[in-house]
């Protein structure tokens, strides 16, 4: 084969070639992705108005709060059953009624004389207060008119506007821890004979307590037909044997006095040094303080 022929062969057309013909029309390009269609101003405004309406469907209409009104969630929180945040959950769930009508609106305003039914229970709006006093002598829990000695409420006057009352009774000669509260459930709890919280008393007698009497007291005794269970009784360390420590569950100081009088001892002084885990630490005689949140929880769990 000569060079001319070879050149002509290379330069000639290739009928059997698989390469596509450049003159053939190309397929159309894929359409570029397009963004969301622009919403017309009128349509957008209508959608925003609808969304705002849905957002506010559980909200009470804003208005000026009257002096005797309070938000429903705060009312519930003040009653002590739960926090405001939890109260909102109960309200949204339809578990709260105001004057017999279910309310699910956030920010709903109620009056103090409204009847609030929370999950089946009637609430009181007053915030629960818990005040611990280290009571001095010559003050009594009695409320008799014309009494000779002053009432213990004088010692906690100004601490709160709530109508608090002492848990248990104390006569003028008894000193030590006395708890005040407006929580009627707690008052009832700690005054029941079956309540389980321990109290510790330091008792001063007119003479030394005999060891055999101490043993008899430790085993418990029957007073006026009722069995008295004594958790612990002992002499006070580094004190005369007329100074005795007594631990029992009763919050009635008369029981403490009756125990020793049963064995023919005169009780000169009773000092409650512990009440359901609360102590007199950093609380001088005649002073009071509010309980901490943890102390309140502990009392409710006793």
Residues 6+ apart with CB under 8 A from 60: 105, 106, 107, 108, 109
Residue of 88, 171, 224, 293 with catalytic role: 171
Instruction: Label residues 219-232 b or e (16+ Cβ within 10 Å = b).
Output: eebeeeeeebebee
Question: What single-letter DSSP state applies at residue 224?
Answer: T
The 3-state secondary structure of 26-57 reads CCCCCCCCCCCCCCCHHHHHHHHHHHHHHHCC
- The span from the CA of 238 to the CA of 257, in Å, is 23
Residue 171: active-site member: yes
Contact 168, 252 (CB under 8 A): yes
In the structure encoding, which two tokens stand for residue 293, read together?
A: 């949140």
- The span from the CA of 160 to the CA of 129, in Å, is 8
Contact 184, 164 (CB under 8 A): no
Which residues are tagged catalytic?
A: 171
């Amino acid at each position: 084969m000569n060079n001319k022929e070879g050149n002509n062969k290379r330069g000639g057309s290739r009928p059997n070639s698989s390469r596509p013909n450049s003159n053939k029309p190309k397929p159309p390009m894929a359409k570029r992705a397009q963004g969301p269609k622009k919403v017309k101003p009128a349509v957008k405004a209508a959608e925003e108005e609808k969304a705002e309406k849905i957002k506010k469907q559980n909200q009470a209409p804003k208005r000026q709060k009257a002096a005797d009104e309070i938000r429903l969630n705060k009312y519930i929180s003040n009653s002590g059953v739960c926090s405001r945040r939890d109260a909102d959950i109960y309200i949204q769930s339809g578990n709260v009624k105001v004057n017999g009508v279910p309310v699910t609106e956030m920010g709903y305003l109620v009056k103090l004389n409204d009847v609030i039914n929370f999950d089946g229970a009637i609430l009181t709006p007053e915030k629960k207060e818990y005040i611990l006093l280290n009571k001095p002598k010559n003050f009594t829990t009695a409320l008799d008119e014309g009494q000779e000695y002053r009432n213990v409420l004088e010692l906690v006057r100004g601490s709160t506007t709530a109508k608090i009352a002492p848990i248990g009774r104390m006569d003028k000669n008894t000193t030590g821890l006395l708890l005040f509260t407006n929580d009627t459930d707690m008052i009832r709890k700690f005054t029941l004979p079956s309540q389980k919280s321990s109290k510790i008393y330091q008792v001063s007698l007119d003479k030394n307590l005999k060891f055999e009497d101490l043993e008899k007291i430790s085993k418990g005794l029957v007073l006026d037909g009722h069995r008295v269970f004594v958790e612990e009784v002992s002499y006070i360390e580094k004190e005369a044997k007329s100074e005795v420590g007594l631990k029992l569950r009763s919050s009635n100081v008369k029981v403490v006095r009756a125990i020793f009088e049963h064995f023919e001892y005169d009780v000169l002084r009773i000092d409650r040094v512990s009440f359901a885990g609360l102590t007199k630490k950093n609380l001088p005689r005649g002073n009071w303080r509010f309980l901490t949140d943890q102390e309140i929880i502990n009392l409710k769990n006793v």
